[in-house]
Structure 1
Amino acid sequence: MLKALRSVAKPLVALLLALVLAGCATFDFAPEDSAAPPHHGPKSFLNVPYGPTHTLGGLIRCYLALEPPDPPAIPPELLPREFKPEIVAPDLEHIRTPDRGSIQVTWISHSSFLIQVEGLSILTDPVFSRRASPFPFIGPSRLAPPGLDFKDLPRIDGVLLSHNHYDHMDKWTLQRLGDSPRIFVPLGHRRLLAAWGLFRVSELDWWQTSPLGPVLIHAVPARHNSNRSLFDGDRAL
């Protein structure tokens, strides 16, 4: 078995490298400034570390089953047998006519939420694609469809993007939303979004704010990193 795995390792590594290179994106980076904040490094941002990072070699070994993956956050034995969360159909009537005097939140999937407040409809990290990947034919795929169909979305006024990982910043979904919503992103993403044909972009550094109608958007730090390839780690916040 191990011999067979080794026989496919070289072509698999070549394929992975080709996919990584093909999925590379170019990011802006704030120029050096003696008065720059402490999290603005000379070549990248100093995002808040969240733990050990995975190397390409480690990912390949895990993919080939040569070493076990990280243990789940919740041990399987603590979950009920055949655990399946209840799926609740969205209330489309309330989504179409939300109460302007309250905040209404609809969970779509993962980090994708529809927030309706003060007459605005705002999406967070919208991902409606089947895969979280630079390519439609390979990469992590959905285990369940979105809780709200794209066609049932109301008119979207704003989009909040937390960072640039593929399961949070989806090119296909953003292009389908078009250039009508204003997009709020951390520093370093404007050039990539412009390459996708999206120009109504507000870039924010930590602790900066920007208005969206009567709502004020705040950018705050998070324990995470950013990258869309092997070569752009933390080039964006």
Structure 2
Amino acid sequence: MPTQLLDFLRYLTQKTYQEQGDAQAAAELNWRRVAAPPLPRGLTLQWLGTSGFLLEHQGYALLIDPYASRVPLSAALSGAVVQPDRARIDRHLPRADAILIGHTHFDHAMDAPIVARRDGCQVYGSRSLATLMAAHGLA
């Protein structure tokens, strides 16, 4: 079997493999950050994995596409009902004053209702995101 296919199958079936990739990407981002121009004074940026970021300025925390649950792609594609992982959310996603969701794919928006309820913050995004939040009683 070609190496790429084996890697893809491993990605679909092994959660730890995905997490190792996240760790490698985080290490690469930390390396690149040294060479990047500095952020404006008082603004911090932290990568949270997948497409998630934390922006902080003067004590205000904005989460962008926070996703810590890490539902395996195989589970998402199987048609099975998948649930956010509250323990991972609480362990890996910091407190937020607001959340911004770019689009409502599960790996961008799935954890937003849990974080919004936990932190009592607003969530901003598209009409489909408003529908998702309403389904969780957060409209």
TM-score normalised by structure 2 residue count: 0.54
Which secondary structure state, in structure 1, belongs to the residue aligned with residue 69 of structure 2?
Answer: coil
Q: What's the counterpart of residue 175 of structure 1?
A: 113
Aligned pairs for 1:1-150 (under 5 A) are 85=25, 87=27, 101-131=41-71, 138-139=75-76, 150=90
Sequence identity, in percent? 26
Whole-Å separation in 1 of the counterparts to 2:51 and 2:69: 13
Separation of aligned partners in 1, 2:57 and 2:46 = 12
Q: Structure 2 CA distance, aligned partners of 1:152 and 1:192?
A: 22
Asked if the contact 2:63–2:100 (Cα under 8 Å) also holds between the matched residues in 1, the reply is yes
CA contact (8 A) 1:123 1:160 kept: yes
Q: 2:26, 2:47 within 8 Å by CA — same for their partners in 1? A: no
Kindly tell me the number of residue pairs found equivalent between the two proteins: 94
| Structure 2: tracts of 5 or more residues without a match | 6-23, 31-40, 78-87
What TM-score, normalized to structure 1? 0.34
| Residues 120 and 186 of structure 1: CA distance in aligned 2, closer, same or farther (over 3 Å) | same
Instruction: Point out the structure with the larger helix share.
Output: 2
**Deviation per residue, 1:51-81 (Å, 9 max, x gap):** xxxxxxxxxxxxxx9xxxxxxxxxxxxxxxx
Aligned AA for 1:156? Answer: A
Rounded to whole Å, the distance in 1 between the matches of 2:132 and 2:46 is 28
Distance 2:26 2:116 in 1: 32
SS at the partner of 2:106? coil
RMSD value over aligned CA atoms? 3.1
Shift of 1:197: 2.2
CA contact 1:111–1:168 (8 Å) conserved in 2: yes
Quick one: which amino acid aligns to residue 108 of structure 1?
Answer: L
Aligned-partner SS, 1:164: coil
Runs of 4 or more consecutive aligned structure 1 residues displaced over 6 Å after TM superposition:
none
Q: What SS does the corresponding residue of 1:107 show, helix, strand or coil? A: strand
CA drift of 1:132 comes to 6.1
Partner of 2:125: 185
SS in 2 for 1:189: helix
State the structure with bigger RCO (CA 8 A, min sep 6), 1 or 2.
1
Q: In the alignment, what sits opposite 2:136?
A: 196
Partner of residue 164 from structure 1, selected from 104, 107, 113: 104
- Paired residue for 2:91? 151
Query: Is the 1:132–1:167 Cα contact (8 Å) retained in structure 2?
Result: no
Larger Rg: 1
